[in-house]
A and B are shown apart, each in its own frame.
Chain A
Amino acid sequence: MRRALPIFVVLAGLLVAIAIVNPYFLEPPAFLAFVKRAAPLVILAAGQYFVIVSGEFDLSVGSLVTAEVVIAARLIDGSAEATWPVLALMIAFGLIVGLVNGIVTTLLRVPSFITTLGMLLILSGAVFLWTGGSPRGALSEQFRQLGRGSLGPVPWSVLILAAVAAAAVCAMRAGFGHTLVAAGDNDRAAALSGVRVARVRTVAFMISGLSAAVAAILLGGFAGVSAQVGKGLEFQAITAVVLGGVALGGGRGSVAAAMAGAFTLEALFTLLNLYGISGALEPAVQGVIIIAAVALGAVRFPRARAAAAS
């Protein structure tokens, strides 16, 4: 937990900065609305964390989110009965895409950067071919509830986020988490000590695919069908993870910090928006964060190595 502290300090600082501009922000409804809006990115960042800490990348999550939403709209087409089967199908599709990413990366030994970049292009091309740029069908009200509605005062997406966060932290505390970090830190050493590196990495990709499916359910619910829904999310998720202090290349960082990184990114965007400088600056800020975080990580790298893998 100690190593994750800095990002929480930054996050708290940003939240205070937002609250100074907009005092209403810290009241429960506004704060819950913020968490609700951040939820898809936080979930994606958690999924991305598993892949990054195991020493790989997943660039395909953005277009996977788009594909999921477009497919769901087409299959549900406004019918309430189709909602639950399609939700199950979305989860399965996310897992399968992750499985393919994992198998191609580990068994065929294609670098994950290339595998998932290819998957990004395949999915976005397939979506475009299928829809011609104009998604058809509609999501049902029941489906929309998950991203839009709430249980009493608490939005469903906040509850889903809490469940995902708890599951992610548990997974990292369990044996699986330790083998994953070991594989990311030094895959040969891990393999020699009995870790099935290919298998844990493939599972990490499947978790990332699953997180994309959940994020798609929330995003589709939040704002409805759109062929742009997942645009740029892969980079936001990677930025969030890096911002959380997780080392690109694997082996270091905690999942809680990665999720805090996503909250921080979302808080930063909210703050920029409050100051009236939204839009064009967001990608630039992300770029600065990625480069700065990796550069700082590299400077620190030789000494921090010894204290790694907790």
Chain B
Amino acid sequence: MRSYSRRFLAAAALAVLTLPVAACTSDKPAPSASGASAGAPAGSAGPADKGTGEQSKFFVQADYDAQMAMRKAQATGPSDKPWEQSIDPQLVDTAEFKKAGPYHLCFSNAAVDNPWRQVGWKTMQAEVALHKEITEFTALDAEGKDDKQISDIAELQGKGCDALIVSPNTTATLTPAVSGACPKVPVIVFDRGVQTDCPVTFIKPIGGYAFGAAAAEFLVDKVPAGGKILALRILPGVDVLETRWSAAKVAFDKSDLQVVGVEFTDGDAAKTKSVVSDYIQRYGKIDGVWMDAGATAVAAVEAFEDAGQPVPPINGEDQQDFLKKWSDAKLTAIAPTYPTYQWRTPVIAALKILKGEQVPKVWNLPQPAITQENLATYLKPGMPPLHYALCGCEDLPGYPEKWGGTS
């Protein structure tokens, strides 16, 4: 009997230990990722609390404005090859780098640890294979580690590269390494940037603000006034994801919608599904779902299906699993993209530079969104579920097998 009561005490102590954690915060409103108040930050219009919380530290008004302008701008270049197009290019002269072929290209890759980078990396290899004048292509994978990438960049400088392509793992940490390489070899940076303008060109799609705004504006358009929006984010504190959310926040603050929750999912499908189910249960009905990345969009859709509710307007990304779900379940959806075709552009840029042709200083690639009207063009039966539709790889040798698909 004694041991019983001691056990009971132990468990009771545990309960006492853990319950207040929940209780003491019960006066907070729903959005967990934010403070209770939305002090109107510089640049956002809405004085009322839309449930979107404080604006992100990463929000830069000038960058936001520039990206919003680029979304409306017309890109120059061949419209059937968006990876060769650029928006508002400021061309720079590259005569100083001109040399005769054949060429040895080098590539320092941040990682190939997610489906987006996998598709991109295959696309880049196929682009290299297109050009006979590239006789050697040396690529090092930094496996997502800054220190490895710093030593990779140093190592590549000793390999006799004619041009160096860098996809930085992080912006600030890789800046000195890129600065060090610039005097020795023409450098091309793409995807994430660096804090120096020494690379000959920096290639990127329009950017994260454009992604987040496209999705949020779609919801503002489709969801009736007063509708409840659930925002799902992967992680806090990552610049490329923070910009997506901060642009969405600006759009929601200006709207009549109520953001009932901003939740982090770690990019995990089961967690996403649980979070969405909880919100459906808590609010009875959710009228729109905003996502900062599409990888778990299908799980969010399934949460509504399993709850026996119609799926509200939602955004995903250009991955095949989401596009298929969209088409099969006739969703009201949009898929902003961060196109993988940008992996073709650095190779094209390197050859232009080595031939002395002008390139844009900042090469802004168009960043289309998949809508109901063009969904059928991007839905590619036979491609794997995690394939990104905007790979621009359909005309490359080895498609679709090299990308894991069947023709």
Name A residues whose Cβ lies closer than 8 Å to a Cβ of B: 2-3, 5-7, 9-10, 13-14, 17, 22, 24-25, 30, 33, 37, 128, 132-138, 148, 219, 222-226, 228-229, 231, 243, 245, 268, 270-281, 285, 288-289, 292-293, 296-297, 300, 303-304, 307
Q: Mark B19-34, 1 if CB is under 8 A from A, else 0.
A: 1011001101111110
Question: Inside 8 A of B274's CB, which chain A residues have their CB?
Answer: 37
Question: Inside 8 A of B14's CB, which chain A residues have their CB?
Answer: 10, 243, 289, 292-293, 296
- Give the complex CA separation of A7 and B18 in angstroms: 13
Q: DSSP class of B's interface residues: helix, strand, loop or mixed?
A: helix
Judging by beta carbons under 8 Å apart, are B18 and A273 in contact?
A: no
Within 16-66 of B, Cβ neighbours of A (below 8 Å) are at: 17-19, 21-22, 25-26, 28-33
**Of B3, B10, B118, which is within 8 A of A296 by CB?**
B10
Judging by beta carbons under 8 Å apart, are A223 and B270 in contact?
A: yes
- Give the complex CA separation of A5 and B5 in angstroms: 10
Interface centre among B22, B273, B299 (most CB of A within 10 A): B22
Whether B302 is near chain A, meaning CB under 8 Å from some CB there, is yes
Whether B115 is near chain A, meaning CB under 8 Å from some CB there, is yes
Interface centre among B6, B18, B269 (most CB of A within 10 A): B18
Closest approach, in angstroms, between the C-beta of B131 and any C-beta of chain A? 25
Instruction: Name the CB-closest residue of A to B113.
Output: A133
- Give the complex CA separation of A274 and B29 in angstroms: 10
Name B residues whose Cβ lies closer than 8 Å to a Cβ of A: 2-4, 6-8, 10-15, 17-19, 21-22, 25-26, 28-33, 111-115, 117-118, 261, 263-264, 266-270, 272-275, 277-278, 281-282, 296, 298-299, 302, 306, 321, 384-386, 404
Judging by beta carbons under 8 Å apart, are A223 and B25 in contact?
A: no
Tell whether A133 pairs with B115 under 8 Å between CB atoms, given A273-B278, A278-B32, A303-B3: yes
Judging by beta carbons under 8 Å apart, are B113 and A229 in contact?
A: no
Question: Inside 8 A of B282's CB, which chain A residues have their CB?
Answer: 22, 274
Q: DSSP class of A's interface residues: helix, strand, loop or mixed?
A: helix
Residue contacts A-B, CB under 8 angstroms, 26 given: A3-B7, A6-B10, A14-B15, A17-B22, A37-B274, A132-B113, A134-B386, A138-B321, A223-B273, A223-B302, A228-B269, A245-B11, A273-B278, A275-B25, A275-B28, A276-B30, A277-B21, A277-B25, A277-B28, A278-B263, A278-B264, A285-B18, A289-B18, A293-B10, A296-B10, A300-B7
Judging by beta carbons under 8 Å apart, are B10 and A228 in contact?
A: no
Total of A-B residue pairs, C-beta within 8 Å: 156
**Of A17, A138, A226, A270, which is within 8 A of B270 by CB?**
A226
- Give the complex CA separation of A137 and B296 in angstroms: 16
Judging by beta carbons under 8 Å apart, are A278 and B275 in contact?
A: yes
Judging by beta carbons under 8 Å apart, are A292 and B17 in contact?
A: yes
Question: Inside 8 A of A278's CB, which chain B residues have their CB?
Answer: 32, 263-264, 275
Tell whether A229 pairs with B270 under 8 Å between CB atoms, given A10-B14, A273-B278, A285-B21: yes
Judging by beta carbons under 8 Å apart, are B32 and A136 in contact?
A: no
